[in-house]
Structure 1
Amino acid sequence: MKKAIVFLANGFEEMEALGTVDILRRGGIEVTTVSITTNTVVMGAHNIPVTADTTLDNLCQGINSPAYDALILPGGMPGASNLNDSEAVKEALLGQYREGRIVAAICAAPMVLGGLGLLKGRNATCY
């Protein structure tokens, strides 16, 4: 079964995150929502609290963490900026990219990929 992570940072765009999770799960992809904070409850851009499956700290503690087929960043502000401020998220994205696996970003979140140089020579749209 394919596996994906959707990272959640405070200020994420709810529709971009939860719509993505919904569609992927309906398609048979195992999706793990990961809070980049120390709390599993993450506040969306429109003050909707969402409980993530786990936190980034807990996920990184696994000695043999399974490889994920895709890492996904929803947009929203200040969610995209908060993702961009997370060194752990950026390290995960770089590792994923180097291994030739999918990194994806929606709306404002491509700023994270662009800042890492992952969009050089590629077409991308960012709000």
Structure 2
Amino acid sequence: MKKVLLLLANGFETYEASAFIDVIGWNLIDGDGSTRLFTCGMQKEIKTTFNQKVVVDYLIEEIDVGSFDALAVPGGFEEYNYYEDAYSEQFVSLIRKFNEQNKTIASVCVGSLPIGKSGILKNREATTYKVGKVRQQTLKSYGANVINEPVVTDLNVITSWNPSTAIDVAFLLLELLTSKNNTQHIREIMGFKPKNN
């Protein structure tokens, strides 16, 4: 079983997280059955952007990185204090540990910023939210080579530039964990147009 850890900060964007939950879950039930997703955060109850409440499966300190195959990091809103958790040492340290074990790390929108703050994007290509350029400048300040593309993959790290990319990032993660054919099957039964590349 391939296990995905969804790392949630207070103020995370629900849509971005749900893309991972749905794609990995659909694969468990209607795909090759090889993937499961678990959630974690700095506290058991997390408030999302727009203040919905979510209870996570694990606290960060309970995580054994070796028992997971990938990490997924949705972005969030500054107005809902996303960066308080996302920039904390405990949060970025977990990202570093996944990178040290060469696990896939997939992020959406500003989910790339705590990855950048962790130091692992130095001299690597990445992207982030591009409206207003502030977030891109922040990512660049962490040493990343910022690319103006919707989804950017450099070695084991996937970054993307806004919520619309969440489903593509989730499907890319599924493809890396399973296969292209299996991912095309899940795309089709979820009603998404199959990719031709």
TM-score range, shorter chain: 0.7 to 0.9
**What TM-score, normalized by structure 1, do the two folds share?**
0.82
Is residue 10 of structure 1 aligned with residue 10 of structure 2?
Answer: yes
- What is the identity percentage for the equivalent residue pairs of Structure 1 and Structure 2? 28
Name the residue aligned to 1:54: 58
Q: Does the 8 Å contact 2:92/2:117 carry over to 1?
A: no
Post-superposition shift, 1:69?
0.8
SS of the residue corresponding to residue 126 of structure 2 reads coil
SS of the residue corresponding to residue 37 of structure 2 reads strand
Post-superposition shift, 1:122?
2.7
Is residue 34 of structure 1 aligned with residue 40 of structure 2?
Answer: yes
Shift of the 2–121 alpha-carbon distance from structure 1 to 2, 3 Å rule, reads same
Q: Does the 8 Å contact 1:5/1:70 carry over to 2?
A: yes
Shift of the 36–110 alpha-carbon distance from structure 1 to 2, 3 Å rule, reads same
1:53-102 per-position Cα deviation (integer Å, ceiling 9, x unaligned): 22224x24xxx675211111110113641343322222221121111111
SS of the residue corresponding to residue 72 of structure 1 reads strand
Q: May I ask how many residue pairs the two structures share in their alignment?
A: 121
Unaligned 5+ runs, structure 1: none
How far apart in 1 are the matches of 2:94 and 2:106?
12
How far apart in 1 are the matches of 2:23 and 2:109?
17
| Consecutive aligned runs of 4 or more in structure 1 exceeding 6 Å deviation | none
SS of the residue corresponding to residue 95 of structure 2 reads helix
Q: Does the 8 Å contact 1:69/1:101 carry over to 2?
A: yes
How far apart in 2 are the matches of 1:80 and 1:106?
14
SS of the residue corresponding to residue 108 of structure 1 reads helix
SS of the residue corresponding to residue 19 of structure 1 reads helix
